[in-house]
Structure 1
Amino acid sequence: MPNFPALTHVAITVSDLDASTAWYQKLLDAQPVLDEDEESGNFHHTVFALGGGTLFGLHTHTTNSGGTHPFSELNVGLDHIAFACTQSELEDWVARLDEAGIEHSGIKHAHYGSGISFRDPDNIALEFFAPPAG
């Protein structure tokens, strides 16, 4: 049996694609590599390329399931998305978030690693996470 594969992409549904695209462009300091209607016509996706070959997509759907609700990690489904970094890069990410005007938790340490928590325009929980040094 082969090893379980790595994640190739993560896609999140957003309430305002233009606003979220601009916000993620600032956070990622990158332009989307794809911005198109999906061939079925059911959604539009704007996709960013992250390090390691992972893609990060923003989706907006042509049909709505009955309204938009603010994201909450307390609901069944996604809890948060963590972006990998090293312990030495955490301070750089704090500076980058401060420069972009993005509120964050500051660096929090635990025995399993350190992280910086923050939220996107739809309140989706995000994190920069570094495993423990050593």
Structure 2
Amino acid sequence: MPRVEVSDRGFDSHRQPCFGGEKFDPVEHFHHTVFALGGGTLFGLHTHTTNSGGTHPFSELNLGLDHIAFACTQSELEDWVARLDEAGIEHSGIKHAHYGSGISFRDPDNIALEFFAPPTG
């Protein structure tokens, strides 16, 4: 299960409407949220109450994570556009390329996220 460290901001306004899921009370020193995304995929978010205090937003230009992509079908991309629009989350719209199609957006910590569908046929 992929897990990403995030700030606590944006859960109610951004992450919950996008993925659903449930936020749990702190377990010792962190909040833990798990989203069941279908196909047996789980995606976990942690917010540590004792972190390094870093205030720099995420940038895919730094070493480490570039972005997280969630697999879907071509037909599901339209559903994701509607769901993101309904939640008021800015996104790229569906972009098509020879290797597939995707929708890019960012979470409140500026982490780059994507719904990606391989080409049909």
- TM-score, normalized by the shorter chain, greater than 0.5: yes
| Aligned mates of 2:35, 2:111 — CA distance in 1 | 17
Instruction: Tell me if structure 1 keeps the 8 A contact 2:26–2:32.
Output: no
Normalized against structure 2, the TM-score is what? 0.75
1:65 to 46, 52, 57: 52
RMSD over aligned CA atoms reads: 2.0
Question: Which one has more relative contact order, counting CA pairs under 8 Å at least 6 apart?
Answer: 2
1:11-51 CA distance string (max 9 Å, x none):
x11111xxxxxxxxxxxxxxxxxxxxx99844331212221
The change in CA–CA distance for 1:66 and 1:84 in structure 2 (over 3 A counts) is same
- The count of residues paired between Structure 1 and Structure 2 equals 102
Q: 2:5 aligns with which of 13, 18, 39?
A: 13
Q: Note the C-alpha offset of 1:113.
A: 0.4
Instruction: State the distance in 2 between where 1:108 and 1:116 align.
Output: 6
CA, structure 1 residues 112+67, in 2 after alignment: closer, same or farther (shift >3 Å)?
same
Q: Which has the larger radius of gyration?
A: 1
1-structure distance, mates of 2:83, 2:53: 36
TM-score by length of 1: 0.68
Q: Is the CA contact (8 Å cut-off) linking 1:15 and 1:68 kept in structure 2? A: no
Compared with structure 1, are the counterparts of its residues 43 and 107 closer, same or farther at alpha carbon in structure 2 (3 Å cutoff)? same
**Cα drift, residue 122 of structure 1:** 0.8
Distance 1:62 1:130, change over 3 A: same
Structure 2 portions without partners, runs of 5+: 9-24
